[in-house]
A and B are shown apart, each in its own frame.
Chain A
Amino acid sequence: MKKKGSAGVAVVSPKKTRKYVIKYKSFYIMFIPVILFTLVFHYLPLFGLGYAFTEFRGIKDPEFIGLENFTRMFSSQGFLNAFGNTLKLSIVKLILNTGLAVIISLMLNEIKSLKFKKTTQTIIYLPHFMSWVVTASVFTLILSPSQEGLVNALLVNLGILDKGQEIYFLGSKKWWTPMFYVINMWKDTGWGTIIFLATLSGISPELYEAATMDGAGRWAQMRFITMPALANTIITVLILNLAKVMNLFESVFVLQNTAVIQQADVLQTYIYTQTFNSGALPNYGYTTAVGVVKSLVGCVLVLLCNYLSKKVRGRGII
């Protein structure tokens, strides 16, 4: 199957290609399990994309309604608002989380005591394992506008706020978004460092030693040895995550409330409330249509960044 596909690309000379195909025979064989899993679990369900043009509630057969799901979607103010929020919250979060993870990885890399390093790494990655429900309830408490709220209590004790003037961080239109980023950073920065630390551990210590001999200082080493080694991973991680940028759901869902809905409604939560309050069964057609739009956005973002990466660094991530 793959041979057919690969023969199709041959543009130069079919003969040469055939030679290459034979040369790479074992690689095609190795790829069989991968492609098999992909076809079965990812490509077979793709027939469902067709639902985007139907009304389908899971009982009667899907009814073709053309582009109605899409026109309905884009004519709704709530959808557009949620669309914008998703892009903003998700991309800022991605940049902040990745940026912080890189900085922390670099700093961790400078720690010489192995014990201290390991302990630190383990501690900062733990929040990843608290479910969002629990995270939300703990942070609701920490940010509570009362004396129980650690942050407010601290601000009052430091004299920054007067007693009775406590800020309702999660119930305020102004504060909700920054708090959302902070909570996300708390939860996922440590987890994000794993992949960077693994990359850093691949750099040979000899390189650093040689650099030290040449009189390169810490900054020079970081700039000329560490960063280039990390760059590829950073860009790969960023672009891969862009593909999922529109899927933001659980973190927002557990943290939002009715006062900040204009700031905090994202596509997935929007669909959820739409379905929940409609009084009818969920329309999978509509959900699929929204999914298609999300995928297209992810696709554009990935291709764009991949193109930029190619332009600047001479190669993409795929």
Chain B
Amino acid sequence: MAQEMIVKNKKKRKIKPFSVINGIIFIIICFFTIVPIWKVLIDSLDLYTSYGMRLWPKRFGLDGYITVFSNSTLYRPLLVSVITTLAGTVLGLLLSTLGGYVLIQWKMPGRNILAGLLLFTMIFSGGMIPTYLVVKNLGLTNTLLSVILLPAINVYNLVLMRNFFEGIPNALFEAAEIDGCSPFQTFYKIVLPLSKAALASIGLMFAVAYWNDYTNFKLYITNADLYNFQMKLRSLILGSDLPTALGSATENTVKNAAVMVAIIPFMFIYPFCQKYFISGINIGAVKE
């Protein structure tokens, strides 16, 4: 792979040794990253229950995955996950971009108060019971709205988004204003198109948070019909510690398969997001 890299590097630079070392370092890093995952992967394909590490399954079989996917009780949660993730990510991105855009209006009266108001909520929170009471009094318990609306406002992501917007050269805003663009028009004609990398990375953060969410689900949803995929996987993974449950013959295999199933979607999502990481605008050195 390192070789291919050098070949592709058709620029006239001579610093090839650096690239080679860099490549090797990453191969090593990847190796160490994969080892623990490999253990899970192999266990999920091994019908034999073993404690130690193995390079290859002792008795290969896909039964773990078949069990996970033939379990028809998983399909509904999968649908719930897709709905909440899509809806939540769109909503989350909307709130973060709007908030981030407003927060770069340094001259706006009250801007600092509004920023402080947001930051305050990142540090202080009312706690589990009060939040539950609010959700309950809004009538959101046992509806998907609770798990979509609640995580949508995320100050952390909002500030990061603002951070990206700051990189947009002021000249563009001025030009837009001269052209008679209203703030709304500037927002979706200039800010959003120029922030693809930001939208992709923060969108990814939202999507992952929604997909993996179980804290909100377990507190606000008591109706198993509305459980998401993550809730089901967790109960699959943790389930057989219940003294009442009877594990199947391949208890360990199924558990590991469930863990892998939870990871697999992300192997495809990131490369998809990375598409938006390449086109850049003039930021950084021009500012400051």
Contacts and interface: CB of A to CB of B under 8 A. Distances in A.
Contacts of A37: 95, 149, 152-153
A111 interface: yes
Nearest to A120: B26
A147 B237 CA distance: 26
A218 B19 CA distance: 11
A287 interface: yes
Give the bracket for the number of chain A residues in contact with chain B: 35 or more
A130 B259 contact: yes
B242 interface: no
A125 B36 contact: no
Given A37-B149, A138-B39, A201-B197, A43 B53 contact: no
Interface of A is mostly: helix
Given A20-B109, A113-B4, A186 B19 contact: no
A288 B134 contact: no
A127 B34 CA distance: 8
A207 B237 CA distance: 50
Contacts of A118: 271, 274
Given A30-B102, A121-B270, A228-B284, A42 B121 contact: yes
Contacts of B29: 104, 120, 124
A1 to B, nearest CB: 11
Interface string B154-190: 0110111001101100000000000000111001000
Interface in B230-288: 234, 237-238, 259, 262-263, 266-267, 270-271, 274, 277-285, 288
A34 B125 CA distance: 17
Interface residues of B, number: 106
Given A31-B102, A121-B274, A201-B280, A45 B197 contact: no
A27 B108 contact: yes
A17 B19 CA distance: 56
Contacts of A5: 110, 113-114
A281 interface: no
In the complex, which of the residues B8, B113, B183, B284 has the most CB atoms of chain A within 10 Å of its own CB atom? Answer: B284
Interface of B: 1-2, 4-5, 8-9, 11, 15, 18-19, 22-23, 25-26, 29-30, 32-37, 39-40, 51-53, 94-95, 98-99, 101-102, 105, 107-110, 112-119, 121-131, 133-134, 138, 149-150, 152-153, 155-156, 158-160, 163-164, 166-167, 182-184, 187, 197-198, 200-201, 204-205, 208, 212, 234, 237-238, 259, 262-263, 266-267, 270-271, 274, 277-285, 288
Given A111-B23, A148-B52, A202-B284, 16 more contacts: A21-B109, A24-B105, A33-B94, A38-B153, A42-B126, A44-B134, A48-B129, A49-B126, A110-B18, A111-B19, A116-B2, A127-B37, A138-B39, A203-B280, A207-B282, A229-B167
The 5 A-B residue pairs with the shortest CB-CB distance, nearest first, are: A6-B110, A48-B130, A229-B284, A45-B126, A48-B126
